[in-house]
Structure 1
Amino acid sequence: MPRTDAPSKIYIEQVDYIRAIASVSVALFHLGGKVLPGLKFGWLGVQMFFLLSGFIICWSIPNNYDWSMARTFILKRITRIEPPFIISVILLLAVQYILVPNYKPDWINVLFHFAYLNSFFNQPYLNPVYWTLGVEFQFYLLIAVIFPLINKKFGFLILIAISIIPLFVNIPALGLINVFPGFAIGICLFLIRVNSLTLKYSLTLLILIVLTFLIEGPLQTSATLIAFLILILPIKSNSFIRFFSKISFSLYLTHDIIGSTFVVHVGSLLPKTFLWKAFEFSSGCIISVLFAYLFYLMIEKPFFLLSKKIKYR
């Protein structure tokens, strides 16, 4: 996620820790952690990303944002996110064509990916991590509309009102509303950071945490609270963490396409012993990180820089 255009808002180092921890957790889960103690909970990194998005997207929006800037905001996000995503889809199809005999994708389903329509039509994504990008895109559309309102005197009620909807309305599983409480906690943390902690925001946080527990469950709530704590703790910058933060989006997009494919196909050729399994897993991790770094340099970084050139008025 790009740093803010607003000079009054500093870059928050704790953000790097959430990006790094969340992306690595998800990658380890898909590379073989599903059957390993501890790592089998790696999918909860997604929940950490949701809270982070709620916070950092609001933090990156200019203080004087109004609805006339919505088009610029969406254009910046699409420029930042969409090209690496689409290229990863093309990469996935290429890998499938090479490795799977007579591979025939559902082209309607593939086209749905280009506008995240899978989420709206409850259709499966080609990659298990893509559904979260569909949710993120829905969040961008929503925040572009409600951001001028949430910092108003009664703006906190908007967060509660949206978060409580799943308790009364059955929403398709891939929709933003089902996971919005996590985003809302991040937004609330943003409001506290720019306005200071008040009784109003303290009660809002408590309500949103309870709603996260009721709607999503205890594990998701725990992951959300871990991300929350990381954001408020006085953690210093770390070069190792900053590296994984930098490649986090690329790692998130490509680890299952490259690393998991490597683990599955190499594993089918090697003995099923503990040492060989450890070799498959560790090799898959190394290959995933190296490929993600190359993907970042060649694909993600150029579009990140391009998105920075798109300025609000």
Structure 2
Amino acid sequence: MTGLNPFLAVVIRFQPPLRMSASAKSRLELLDALRGAAAIGVTLVHFTVEMEPTLFQKVARWGWTGVVVFFVISGFIMPHSLARSGYRFPKDYWKFISKRIVRLHPPYLLTVMILIGLNWTSVSSACRQFALHAGLLNGILGVPWLSQVYWTLAIEFQFYLLIGALVPILLNHPKAGHRFVIPALLCLSLAPVSWNWIVPHLPLFIFGVLVFLRHRGTIPPLLFYVEILAAAAASYFTLGLPQALVGLATAMCVTFVNIRIPRVLVDFGTISYSLYLLHPIIGVWVVRESHFGVGGMPGQILTVAAALGVSSLAAWVCYRWVESPSQRASSRIRYDRNL
């Protein structure tokens, strides 16, 4: 796992941080663009991992940092969404978890069933694999995932379980949140815990939470920078320097950058979840059938472009017929009082 995220190459223009209420469309497009660039980055590393070393392959290997971008964005968007929805703890906690399951599990379980079918051995094995994946338990129980991207979904879900309980403190008692809760989580992240748990990944989510507090105006500017740097330091010690730098860059981008969004990145952001799930199945197959991009770097680029194109088409179909209905079903689960 190891490159520069594509979004860093986009021409940017800095301006003072904007509140979400004043620039909701622009902020949403920025987040979509970051998600789209992150998804493309992850596809590149999986498409090129078995190719011969070239300049293109060495750059593409850094696409794994897209996972860091996903975690930071989740840290920002989850508390923001809960703050806007009138969420109350503990009354709405299980509704929140249910909304996330209804929103994310249908396309995920579709790919799980495809992979079970492709790796069929027996009914009992298939049922066991499905049950473990449905509960996102493989990493915790030491059972291999059917796809190399599923482990991140388990980490995300652990974050949902955590933020649903902590967001009332961040919203209703902001001083306690940024003075005690955030430092406590950063200290916890230093504990020697397996990567299959959220603990070592906490600093990446905290990057996003701090940006949320900044946009909400409930954290003093100086403390914001102190805790952002503390999150970067914690990320460096638990994950490594690349994760710390990319996490910090993503947080600063969401906080300060007004960007001319290429429409293609926004579109990729829309289908990024389906693309993330499907590319190891469809795109990797295209790459392997092309004999890993023979013909040097030009052949590699053409092969990856073909794999990305086919994967994107499949992702659009999945988004249109599976993910989008899941979004609508999730939105129908409402909290008792919406603001």
Alpha carbons 1:96, 1:103 under 8 Å: kept: no
Aligned length: 301
Give the structure 2 partner of residue 89 of structure 1: 112
Please give the alpha-carbon distance, in whole angstroms, between the structure 2 residues aligned to 1:7 and 1:83. 31
Name the counterpart of 1:10: 24
Task: Provide the secondary structure at the position in 1 that maps to 2:285.
Answer: helix
Unmatched tracts of structure 2, length 5 or more? 1-19
Q: Which runs of 5+ in 1 are unaligned?
A: 1-5
- Judged with a 3 Å threshold, the aligned counterparts in structure 2 of structure 1 residues 293 and 159 are, in CA distance, closer, same or farther, namely same
Q: How does 1:272-291 map to 2 (within 5 A)?
A: 272-274=294-296, 276-291=299-314
Aligned counterpart, 2:47: 31
SS, match of residue 144 in structure 2: coil
The 1:263/1:285 distance shift into structure 2, 3 A limit, reads same
CA displacement 1:127-155 (0-9 Å, x = unmatched)? 00000000001011111111111232211
CA RMSD of aligned residues (A): 2.4
Alignment of 1:243-254 (within 5 A): 243-254=267-278
In structure 1, how many angstroms separate the alpha carbons of the residues matched to 2:211 and 2:315? 30
**Who is 1:258 aligned against?**
282
Q: TM-score, normalised by structure 2?
A: 0.82
**Residues 30 and 256 in structure 1, CA contact (< 8 A), matched pair in contact too:** yes
Residue equivalent to 2:15 = none
Identify the match of residue 155 of structure 1 among 171, 174, 177: 177
Distance change >3 Å, CA 282–CA 238, structure 1 → 2? closer
Look up the equivalent residue of 1:149 and give its one-letter code: I
Selected match of 1:176 from 198, 201, 204: 198
Counterpart Cα distance in 2 of 1:93 and 1:266: 24
- Checking the alignment, whether the CA contact within 8 Å between 1:125 and 1:131 is kept in structure 2 is yes
Bigger drift between 243-252 and 194-203 goes to: 194-203
Shift of 1:105: 8.9
What secondary structure is seen at the aligned counterpart in 2 of 1:164? helix
Structure 1 distance, partners of 2:271, 2:233, is 33
Which residue does the alignment assign to 1:52?
73
TM alignment of 1:61-72, pairs within 5 A: 61-63=82-84, 64-67=86-89, 68-72=91-95
- CA, structure 1 residues 32+103, in 2 after alignment: closer, same or farther (shift >3 Å)? farther
The one-letter code of the counterpart of 2:176 is: F
The Cα shift of 1:234 comes to 0.9
Paired AA for residue 227 in structure 1: T
AA aligned to 1:78 is I
The separation in 2 between residues aligned to 1:32 and 1:40, in whole angstroms, is 7
Report if the CA contact (8 A) 1:129-1:252 is conserved. Answer: yes
> Conserved in 2, the CA contact under 8 Å of 1:33 and 1:42?
no
After superposition, the C-alpha distances for 1:180-213 in whole angstroms (9 at most, x for unaligned) are: 1000110011011002551333322221111111
- Give the aligned partner of residue 202 of structure 1: 225
Bigger mean CA offset, 26-35 vs 104-113: 104-113
Q: CA deviation at 1:238?
A: 3.5
Whole-angstrom distance in 1 between the partners of 2:160 and 2:274: 20
Amino acid at match of 2:161: L
The reply on whether 1:214 has 2:237 as its aligned counterpart is yes
Letter in 1 for 2:227: T
Of the three residues 145, 148, 157, the one matched with 1:125 is: 145
Separation of aligned partners in 2, 1:181 and 1:302 = 33
Kindly indicate whether the alpha-carbon contact (under 8 Å) linking 2:113 and 2:130 is maintained by their aligned counterparts in 1: no
CA distance in 1, matches of 2:248, 2:228: 11
1:103 to 1:236, Cα distance in 2 relative to 1, 3 A: farther
1:258 CA drift (Å):
0.6
Q: Distance in 1 between matches of 2:322 and 2:310?
A: 17
- Residues 104 and 311 (structure 1), Cα distance of their counterparts in 2 relative to 1, 3 Å cut: closer
Inter-partner Cα distance in structure 2 for 1:304 and 1:237: 24
- Write the deviation string for residues 97-127 of structure 1: whole angstroms up to 9, x where unpaired: 5xxxx69994434421001011322322110
Determine the structure 2 residue equivalent to 1:3.
none
The 8 Å contact of residues 26 and 45 in structure 1, kept in 2 or not, is answered as yes
Q: TM-score scaled by structure 1?
A: 0.88
- Shifted more, 229-238 versus 257-266: the winner is 229-238
- Does the 8 A contact of 2:189 with 2:201 survive in 1? no
Q: Identity over the aligned pairs, expressed in percent?
A: 28
